[in-house]
Amino acid sequence: MAVTVEQMAEEMYEMIKEAMGKKSFKATDLTKAMIAKYGEGEVSKDDCKHAIRILIDSGRCVYSYFGGSFITLPHKEGAANE
């Protein structure tokens, strides 16, 4: 494998951080980006799923919902009341 799952998690994290506030990514977007970068034979959808799981389970990223589920950095949501 050209890249480890942990490395992919880092790259996904950078993608999300970079685009925060401009564009939100779905799990499928992150998966497609990794496969496009490393090639279909090199990384599998399951690897990408694993990488996303690492980001979520560590708390570095969270799922958010606005008319569809996205993966974002933890943030205080707009609607929340103190």
Residues forming the site for another protein (CB under 8 A): 22-24, 26-28, 31, 45, 49, 52-53, 56-59, 62-69, 72, 74-75, 77-82
Nearer to another protein by Cβ, of 4 and 63: the residue is 63
Are the C-beta atoms of 13 and 56 separated by less than 8 Å? no
Nearer to another protein by Cβ, of 1 and 66: the residue is 66
Kindly state the smallest distance separating residue 19's Cβ from another protein, in Å. Answer: 10
Nearer to another protein by Cβ, of 41 and 81: the residue is 81
Kindly state the smallest distance separating residue 2's Cβ from another protein, in Å. Answer: 22
Kindly state the smallest distance separating residue 68's Cβ from another protein, in Å. Answer: 4
Q: What's the burial of 81, exposed, middle or buried (CB within 10 Å: 0-12/13-18/19+)?
A: exposed
